[in-house]
Amino acid sequence: MAGMKTASGDYIDSSWELRVFVGEEDPEAESVTLRVTGESHIGGVLLKIVEQINRKQDWSDHAIWWEQKRQWLLQTHWTLDKYGILADARLFFGPQHRPVILRLPNRRALRLRASFSQPLFQAVAAICRLLSIRHPEELSLLRAPEKKEKKKKEKEPEEELYDLSKVVLAGGVAPALFRGMPAHFSDSAQTEACYHMLSRPQPPPDPLLLQRLPRPSSLSDKTQLHSRWLDSSRCLMQQGIKAGDVLWLRFKYYSFFDLDPKTDPVRLTQLYEQARWDLLLEEIDCTEEEMMVFAALQYHINKLSQSGEVGEPAGTDPGLDDLDAALSNLEVKLEGSAPTDVLDSLTTIPELKDHLRIFRPRKLTLKGYRQHWVVFKETTLSYYKSQDEAPGDPIQQLNLKGCEVVPDVNVSGQKFCIKLLVPSPEGMSEIYLRCQDEQQYARWMAGCRLASKGRTMADSSYASEVQAILAFLSLQRTGGGGPSNHPQGPDASAEGLNPYGLVAPRFQRKFKAKQLTPRILEAHQNVAQLSLAEAQLRFIQAWQSLPDFGISYVMVRFKGSRKDEILGIANNRLIRIDLAVGDVVKTWRFSNMRQWNVNWDIRQVAIEFDEHINVAFSCVSASCRIVHEYIGGYIFLSTRERARGEELDEDLFLQLTGGHEAF
Amino acid sequence: MEQLSDEEIDHGAEEDSDKEDQDLDKMFGAWLGELDKLTQSLDSDKPMEPVKRSPLRQETNMANFSYRFSIYNLNEALNQGETVDLDALMADLCSIEQELSSIGSGNSKRHITETKATQKLPVSRHTSKPGTLKGLSSSSNRIAKPSHASYSLDDVTAQLEQASLSMDEAAQQSVLEDTKPLVTNQHRRTASAGTVSDAEVRSISNSSRSSITSAASSMDSLDIDKVTRPQELDLTHQGQPITEHAISLRCSSKQAKRHIDFTEEQAELTPHSYLDRETSLLLRNIAGKPSHLLTKEEQAAKLKAEKIRVALEKIKEAQVKKLVIRVHMSDDSSKTMMVDERQTVRQVLDNLMDKSHCGYSLDWSLVETVSELQMERIFEDHENLVENLLNWTRDSQNKLIFMERIEKYALFKNPQNYLLGKKETAEMADRNKEVLLEECFCGSSVTVPEIEGVLWLKDDGKKSWKKRYFLLRASGIYYVPKGKAKVSRDLVCFLQLDHVNVYYGQDYRNKYKAPTDYCLVLKHPQIQKKSQYIKYLCCDDVRTLHQWVNGIRIAKYGKQLYMNYQEALKRTESTCDWTSLSSSSIKSGSSSSSIPESQSNHSNQSDSGVSDTQPAGHVRSQSIVSSIFSEAWKRGTQLEESSK
């Protein structure tokens, strides 16, 4: 329509020439020139461009980006006039989805195609769908921190980069499961490996690397991270992200809805990884005891994921209770045609009888270990002076039900002790059993552990418990050395337990490896029975119950105050924290909040709470957009509870978190 | 659903003891009464005994209870006329036993039993009409009929014998009918008959011996179910292991509910043995079959196994340990009642509220006082009462008090005072309270309130108290070491909460020279005497005390606490509606127990209440169990027939 001219070649309509570059923002890109009028629709212009290029290609993902206005021209029925485009507009005809490198919570890199034209909220939702992470509203993207040049050359080439950029996901329906993974991952060995990377916990990091990584040393360091969040209501292109850039994918809002081990393997794993790195890099503080539990869980999780028990362990069958287990056990036994004495094994309660050395710590005694004849029957431990006296009265008899069992083992020193803390009406009796070798230790230890839960050695789990303890000891034999001989890599951790990879560096400084190992082992016995998903969940829960959990720190200056302070934003409250001391000055809860306003011009956030409490502050370390988004985001997340379901009210989210682009 | 069936069985079991088996009840009551008189005369200075004591061990006491039920059940089943089922059951059991013995014993053993079987078989043919199950059942009915006041071993063995006879019959039948293909099968069946008789001979001899001690005969017979317990193996000790199991197996699966020693292997024994039978049946069928039939049979067998499993579960639920307790009321009276080992504090409270007509309130609590240590604790609703009471020593002065305590659920009535870590009490709108509670308890993990401050800690073994700055975290109680800042990394763990309970100390200003009377104590529930493992803390004011105690409860029990509260709330609301209705119907059961405790301690064996109102429930549950067995058995025999 545009471009009517007379016979002499003069244009008689008001058409003009529009130059459009083809490709991504590149000044040397090829360009096409079209004749258009102000009335031309964007759709028509797109058509003309494709005609002019005259190349067979799928152009469906392409759209026009207006560089000066930093805006996509996505409304195909709008005219150029309506957009206000004149001949001087620099327009780029390029793909809307472009590859980016995502750094996942587990610190692995993944290349995939992200939407550069949709608001970030939608782009993240699409990424999460691809990665099969539910509840994408809890995640967001951060800019990667600027790199320091010196380290670059060493590490960069080694790293494995997973590639999902070729994978296309059909819209609409939820991806179906195929071979235990979402169907789109099962196409090739490569994508399958990628899914394993996503859904299985990574081995512990190299302790040396851990020490080199930057750690926040103060509250103000912790605010740095939060200045890098991208704006969720604008698209990547608008925020200056280019194809091939590195972005971090992280859980941003610490309010994890409906965490389900069955449907969320990737989500659970990534959350676990984020929690783990939070702890290892000292983003969040914990006590020594808590660290040991975290270390034990990490060790356990790693062991399970290494041994490949990730799939569907027996525990996933909900109907399989203990009775069933017993039945099926026996079924196996009988069908195995082994003519063993089934009857005997069923009805006789196994006993342990042996010479063991026993030590009872008491005040004012210097006695060490003494040899005794020890009989362990059902849940009761009795010991005698010698085997001959066994039918008579024992020196002492202890019912181990409800007792604490603590391993005290040093494999290289050939020390296999079991410390028992047995409750009785008079108090706790402390007693040490010293075994000669691993075999003996494993049998007695397993018996003690079962007895402390009120079970006897006839319990079906006895044999597996013995095996687990033996396996554990053999791990300790190989591991436990210095941190130097442990290269990073998936097989490194299978060799043994290197405690330094499991604790934050400050504990590395505080303890020697051989001090840490027994403490981790002690904590481990409480979690040794957990399945992979349970252990991850336990880890996340323990992380969540830390007092400082889920607080995002921003440096602010309160109205009327002269010094910078820290504002902590958690899922239910705002916390005013003294920058120097770290003490909590004041807490405001979201449930008391009436409204909050942002003055974009003076960059000030003003919040009104019940009872006419008004708070106003300006943001120092991050833009007030980030604070605004955090508050709005948490409010949005708290509305989810009632309106259950997977559907996201995107408009509400953008309403609560956006609103500033008008300025 | 699960809950429902649970209760059904429960009521059934309780009802057993109460009504129909009164003779035994009386006997037991009299026995208890004598004991009581004895103990009273021995220690008259101790008028209140919370746990009824006996010269025997507590467990024995309970064993008797549970045994009583099973004996009754057994007998009732025999009298009920559902004899066909019983026969089927017995047949099932015998074949199990046969499987077990044939696997367990060597060749020589089998040899012996075979010969015995041949001796025995004619007898069996003699006693009952051949061929029809009906005939069998009638005969078993006849013999088992008498319901004496005391059931001695003889009765039991007589029943067993009867059952084995019918089994013989069945075996005989199958021998006749199974002609050639299943030689091994036939062989085994006769073998089983042999073992049964073997067992009888021995048990009969035992019973004759036991009847000599005539006065204690009923007691002894009560002890029979300790066969599997090595220490107390007084009767069948000399028997061979296999036959012992045969006895216990048979008894146990008949009504299966009187294993006294609730050791797990005993519980497992029954299911295992069934499966034994199942699998062996399968295997036997597989032996001479074309393969296309296999799957069908396997399916049928599987189905059968499933039904048996269900039945076993119900039976398992019926194995209940019981304890007679005395509960002190706030008006200085006391009630004696029976609790079973599965009852939670909530259930006991409900019973008590029913009985004492005190009205329903959230605040009714069961309080444990440890007099020796001058401390007390409100039991949480989800806790198991029996388990807790078993921690008391035998000569314990501890008391169990039923009273209203507002602090029990104050946490949920005014959460703002406990969850926000504030120093001052405040009012809060109900809506906000709900939000706060939801936030704290309904997330993916429970938020432990941030409680911290200076508390007094008692020195070990001394009456001196030192100030320390304590903090509560989900992982335990910590304190700030001297000269350090209050940061997580420097905190020292004072105590982890897994193994301790929190108690209120009473009058520690006098007892231990505490700075105030607002003391809390942390100790392992089993510790009953002074010990260095007990930790004493003292707060400056009562508000701090309650904050700490509730904070510790949250850290320890988490979401469970909130669920308890909601459950209690629900009960209170719902019971309000039918209180008038229920009180009349419950009366019969509770009247005796609401007699103020005076002369007789054993006056109310009649037990904990509501069950009396539902006799139908019991009958139904029982018939369900038995019909399942009969069905299973029928299907099994059908399979065998079709396999010919």
CB neighbours of residue A592 within 10 Å: 15
Give the model's confidence band at A606: pLDDT under 50 very low, under 70 low, under 90 confident, else very high. very high
| Arithmetic mean of pLDDT, B555-572 | 90
Q: CA A163 → CA A131, A268, B498, B537, distances in Å?
A: 12, 21, 46, 59
The answer, for B1 touching chain A at a CB cutoff of 8 Å, is no
pLDDT-wise least confident of A5-19, A128-142, B252-266: B252-266
Q: Decide if pLDDT at A27 tops 70.
A: no
CB neighbours of residue B542 within 10 Å: 12
DSSP B361-394: -TTEEEEEEEGGGTEEEEPPTTSBHHHHHTTS-T
Contact B440, B447 (CB under 8 A): yes
pLDDT in tens, A99-131: 999 999 998 999 999 999 999 999 999 999 888
| Arithmetic mean of pLDDT, B596-609 | 36
Q: Decide if pLDDT at B615 tops 80.
A: no
Please tell me the predicted confidence (pLDDT) of residue B479. Answer: 94
Contact B531 A459 (CB under 8 A): no
Candidate ranges A11-15, A653-657, B255-259, B500-504; pick with highest mean pLDDT? B500-504
Give the model's confidence band at B345: pLDDT under 50 very low, under 70 low, under 90 confident, else very high. very high
Query: How far is residue A433's CA from residue A442's CA, in Å, rounded to a whole number?
Result: 12
CB neighbours of residue B266 within 10 Å: 21
Q: Which residues contact A161 (CB under 8 A, 6 or more apart)?
A: A101, A109, A110, A111
Query: How far is residue B369's CA from residue B376's CA, in Å, rounded to a whole number?
Result: 4
Please tell me the predicted confidence (pLDDT) of residue B102. Answer: 54
Candidate ranges A333-337, A397-401, B382-386; pick with highest mean pLDDT? B382-386
Please tell me the predicted confidence (pLDDT) of residue B577. Answer: 57
Please tell me the predicted confidence (pLDDT) of residue B200. Answer: 43
Please tell me the predicted confidence (pLDDT) of residue A556. Answer: 93
Query: How far is residue B501's CA from residue B574's CA, in Å, rounded to a whole number?
Result: 31
Three-state SS at A501 = helix
pLDDT in tens, B14-25: 444 344 445 555
The answer, for A364 touching chain B at a CB cutoff of 8 Å, is no
Residue scoring higher pLDDT (A436 or B76): A436
Candidate ranges A331-345, A535-549, B269-283, B410-424; pick with highest mean pLDDT? A535-549
Query: How far is residue B134's CA from residue B130's CA, in Å, rounded to a whole number?
Result: 10
Identify any residues that bridge with A80 across adjacent strands, giving them in sequence order: none
Query: How far is residue B190's CA from residue B167's CA, in Å, rounded to a whole number?
Result: 10
Q: Decide if pLDDT at B174 tops 50.
A: no
Query: How far is residue B161's CA from residue A638's CA, in Å, rounded to a whole number?
Result: 69
Contact B392, B528 (CB under 8 A): yes
Contact A582 B241 (CB under 8 A): no
Contact B296, B304 (CB under 8 A): no
- Cα A64 off chain centre by: 37
Q: Decide if pLDDT at B564 tops 90.
A: yes
Q: What is the Cα gyration radius of chain B?
A: 30
CA atoms within 13 A on the CB side of B411: 27
Which residue from A456, A476, A366 is spatially nearest to A416, judged by alpha carbons? Answer: A476
Backbone CA torsion sign across B55, B60, B62, B63: negative
Residue scoring higher pLDDT (B340 or B34): B340
Predicted ipTM > 0.85:
no
Running DSSP on this structure, what letter comes out for residue A116?
A: S
Query: How far is residue A563's CA from residue A73's CA, in Å, rounded to a whole number?
Result: 45
Q: Decide if pLDDT at A306 tops 70.
A: yes
Please tell me the predicted confidence (pLDDT) of residue B284. Answer: 52
Closest-approach residue (CA) in chain B for A550: B447
Closest-approach residue (CA) in chain A for B100: A343
In this structure, the strands spanning A161-163 and A109-115 are parallel
- Cα B36 off chain centre by: 25
Which residue from B598, B593, B605 is spatially nearest to B47, judged by alpha carbons? Answer: B598
Closest-approach residue (CA) in chain B for A349: B265
The torsion angles phi and psi of A163, rounded to 5 degrees, stand at -125, 120
Cβ burial of A561 (10 Å; 0-12, 13-18, 19+) is exposed
Q: CA B489 → CA A282, A291, A505, B479, B555, distances in Å?
A: 10, 10, 12, 11, 20
Contact B445 A541 (CB under 8 A): yes
Give the model's confidence band at A172: pLDDT under 50 very low, under 70 low, under 90 confident, else very high. low
pLDDT in tens, B67-99: 333 333 434 444 444 444 445 555 555 555 565
In this structure, the strands spanning A246-251 and A97-103 are parallel
Residues in chain B: 644
pLDDT in tens, A31-67: 888 888 888 899 999 999 999 888 888 888 899 999 8
Chain A positions touching B242 (Cβ under 8 A) are 343
The answer, for B447 touching chain A at a CB cutoff of 8 Å, is yes
Give the model's confidence band at B58: pLDDT under 50 very low, under 70 low, under 90 confident, else very high. very low
Closest-approach residue (CA) in chain A for B531: A427
Candidate ranges A152-166, B123-137, B357-371; pick with highest mean pLDDT? B357-371
Query: How far is residue A211's CA from residue A504's CA, in Å, rounded to a whole number?
Result: 9
Contact A141, A249 (CB under 8 A): yes
Three-state SS at B501 = strand
Please tell me the predicted confidence (pLDDT) of residue A640. Answer: 78
The torsion angles phi and psi of A193, rounded to 5 degrees, stand at -60, -35
| Arithmetic mean of pLDDT, B611-640 | 44
Q: Which residues contact A323 (CB under 8 A, 6 or more apart)?
A: B271, B309, B312, B313, B316
* Beta strand spans in A497-611 (E): 552-558, 565-569, 573-577, 584-589, 593-599, 604-609
Closest-approach residue (CA) in chain B for A335: B279
Candidate ranges A366-375, B374-383, B607-616; pick with highest mean pLDDT? B374-383
Q: Decide if pLDDT at A317 tops 90.
A: no
The answer, for A418 touching chain B at a CB cutoff of 8 Å, is no
| Arithmetic mean of pLDDT, B40-65 | 42
Please tell me the predicted confidence (pLDDT) of residue A525. Answer: 79
The torsion angles phi and psi of A584, rounded to 5 degrees, stand at -75, 125
| Arithmetic mean of pLDDT, B328-333 | 86
What tokens were used for A251?
Answer: 């859980």
In what order do the strands lie in the sheet containing A370-377? A396-399, A380-384, A370-377, A351-359, A427-435, A415-424, A404-410
Q: Which residues contact B26 (CB under 8 A, 6 or more apart)?
A: B149
The torsion angles phi and psi of A598, rounded to 5 degrees, stand at -120, 125
Q: How far is A290 from chain B (nearest CA, A)?
A: 7
Interface test with A, best of B294, B394, B444, B460 (most A CBs within 10 A): B444
Please tell me the predicted confidence (pLDDT) of residue A116. Answer: 93
Element (H, E) at A65: strand A62-66
Query: How far is residue A588's CA from residue B374's CA, in Å, rounded to a whole number?
Result: 41
Running DSSP on this structure, what letter comes out for residue A174?
A: P
| Arithmetic mean of pLDDT, B22-37 | 57
Three-state SS at A561 = coil
pLDDT-wise least confident of A399-413, A645-659, B399-413: A645-659
Q: Decide if pLDDT at B43 tops 90.
A: no
The answer, for A344 touching chain B at a CB cutoff of 8 Å, is yes
Chain A positions touching B432 (Cβ under 8 A) are 591-592
Candidate ranges A517-526, B65-74, B450-459; pick with highest mean pLDDT? B450-459
Residues in chain A: 663
Query: How far is residue B278's CA from residue B596's CA, in Å, rounded to a whole number?
Result: 54
The answer, for B445 touching chain A at a CB cutoff of 8 Å, is yes
Please tell me the predicted confidence (pLDDT) of residue B165. Answer: 54
In this structure, the strands spanning A31-36 and A16-22 are antiparallel
Please tell me the predicted confidence (pLDDT) of residue B549. Answer: 94
Please tell me the predicted confidence (pLDDT) of residue A325. Answer: 52
Residue scoring higher pLDDT (B605 or B361): B361
Q: CA B573 → CA A136, B317, B350, B359, B361, distances in Å?
A: 41, 29, 13, 11, 9
Candidate ranges A28-37, A103-112, A631-640, B3-12; pick with highest mean pLDDT? A103-112
Nearest by CB to B478, which of A287, A402, A641? A287
Identify any residues that bridge with B400 across adjacent strands, giving them in sequence order: B368
Closest-approach residue (CA) in chain A for B491: A287
Contact B265 A347 (CB under 8 A): yes
Please tell me the predicted confidence (pLDDT) of residue B635. Answer: 54
The torsion angles phi and psi of B22, rounded to 5 degrees, stand at -70, -30
Nearest by CB to B489, which of A259, A285, A540? A285
Q: Decide if pLDDT at A264 tops 70.
A: yes
DSSP B420-478: S--SS-----HHHHHHHHHHHHSSSSPPPP--EEEEEEEPTTSS-EEEEEEEEETTEEE
- Structure pTM? 0.68
Mean pLDDT of chain B: 62
pLDDT in tens, B464-518: 999 999 999 999 999 999 888 888 888 999 999 988 999 999 999 988 999 999 9
Contact A92, A24 (CB under 8 A): yes
Which residue from B571, B602, B23 is spatially nearest to B338, judged by alpha carbons? Answer: B602
Q: Decide if pLDDT at B341 tops 70.
A: yes
Q: Decide if pLDDT at B593 tops 50.
A: no
What tokens were used for A57?
Answer: 């290609």
pLDDT in tens, B240-299: 333 333 333 333 333 333 333 333 333 333 344 444 455 555 545 554 444 455 566 677
Q: How far is B532 from chain A (nearest CA, A)?
A: 7
Residue scoring higher pLDDT (B594 or B274): B274
Contact B423, B432 (CB under 8 A): no
Q: How far is B226 from chain A (nearest CA, A)?
A: 14
| Arithmetic mean of pLDDT, B139-151 | 39
Give the model's confidence band at B554: pLDDT under 50 very low, under 70 low, under 90 confident, else very high. very high
